[in-house]
Amino acid sequence: MTASDCFLGVDGGGTKTRFALIDAEGRVLAQAQHGTTYHPQVGFEAVREILTAGVRQVLQEAGLPGATIRYAFFGLPAYGEDRHATSLLQAIPHAVLGHDRYACDNDMVCGWAGSLACSDGINIIAGTGSMGYGQRQGAAARAGGWGEAFSDEGSAYWIAAQGLNAYSRMSDGRLPRGTLHAVFNAELALEQDLDICARVYGEQAYSRGDFAKLSLLVAKAARLGDAVAGRIYSQAGNELALIADALRRSLGFTDGEIVPLSYSGGAFSAGDLLLIPFKESLRSASPDFELRAPLHEPHYGAAMYAAKLFRRSGKSR
């Protein structure tokens, strides 16, 4: 390698895609943020356009030509979940970079790589969707991440859906009307309760990412003392802990062996609303979990992982 060699990390997501360019010492040279690369929502051509724009931006800001990218890692949402789609996603970075010095995987890898600095352990992601990923002694495993239609428990999307379910019940009288009902009406400027259906199902319906942002209203209601909203966050913490414990077992951590565990994703911006029940559920699942604050953001982790993969491969081209 030369002094000008750099590594590119791309963390795709259901709401946004972030890019980091670092040098061989791990110093950040440039960063960028663009829209979602969730291909079921935007299509493959839009994924290519977003990746092209982000890579171009970080290279321009760093003042470097594309040839200096020694290796890149692209973490893309829904990668690996559809064989045909995965083959198409795998080919896109070649068109963007003009070479094959890259690896692709699901964006879950970025969360693990950033939060634990590419070391053995488990990362729980609770962003637009939810899932977990970990590595131990060269083995890797994932859990969760089956999509919002029937999974993604504990994610921002799931919290939003649970909040809307509670809102509808409160509106009908199936639940006592609490602060959550008032918060939704005020924040969404609803003239009548059924107007919310147009936001979810109408011509200008929320995108997947915008729907997930309704979790912020559930968080606001919980902080204002709404018991139903508080229980939604308690259940979310428990669901995420179940993912972590499934990974602990599938990765072969033995009883008494410390399990480094970290987290990433926008749902955790709720702070103690989610972290406290998450911690309590982890303690109930196993005394071996060691919860650690994330060391780095996922897009930086992706760049770190690119450097690690390059060094592991021994490539010099």
Helix/strand/coil for 35: strand
Asked if 113 and 201 sit in the same domain, the reply is no
Residue 315 has pLDDT above 70, yes or no: no
pLDDT band at residue 3, thresholds of 50, 70 and 90?
A: low
Q: How far apart are CA 128 and CA 112, in angstroms?
A: 16
User: Average pLDDT over the chain, rounded to whole?
Assistant: 95
Q: Is residue 167 part of a domain?
A: yes
- Are residues 233 and 168 part of one domain? yes
pLDDT at 240: 98
Task: Verify that 108 and 140 share a domain, yes or no.
Answer: no
Q: For the chain, how many structural domains are there in total? A: 2
For residue 4, pLDDT over 90 is answered with: no
Over residues 57-92, the pLDDT tens digits come to 999 999 999 999 999 999 999 999 999 999 999 999
Q: Are residues 106 and 133 in the same domain?
A: no
If pLDDT is split at 50, 70 and 90, which confidence band does 14 have?
confident
CA 155/CA 243 separation, integer angstroms: 12
Query: In terms of domains, do 228 and 150 share one?
Result: yes
- Residue 151 pLDDT: 94
What is the percent of the chain where pLDDT is above 90? 93
Instruction: Flag whether 50 is in a domain.
Output: yes
Domain-embedded: residue 289: yes
| Domain of residue 81, CATH code | 3.30.420.40
Co-location of 248 and 158 in the same domain: yes
Say if residue 65 is in the same domain as residue 155.
no
Do residue 166 and residue 225 come from a single domain? Answer: yes
Contacts of 98 (CB under 8 A, 6+ apart): 66
**CA gap 152, 298 in Å, rounded:** 19
pLDDT over threshold 50, residue 317: no
pTM of the model: 0.90
Q: Are 147 and 274 in the same domain? A: yes
Residues 162 and 97 in one domain: no
Residue 153 lies inside a defined structural domain of this protein: yes
Question: Has residue 61 been placed in a domain?
Answer: yes
Residues 241 and 169 both lie in one domain: yes
Residue 253: give the domain boundaries: 120-294
Whether 290 maps to a domain, the answer reads: yes
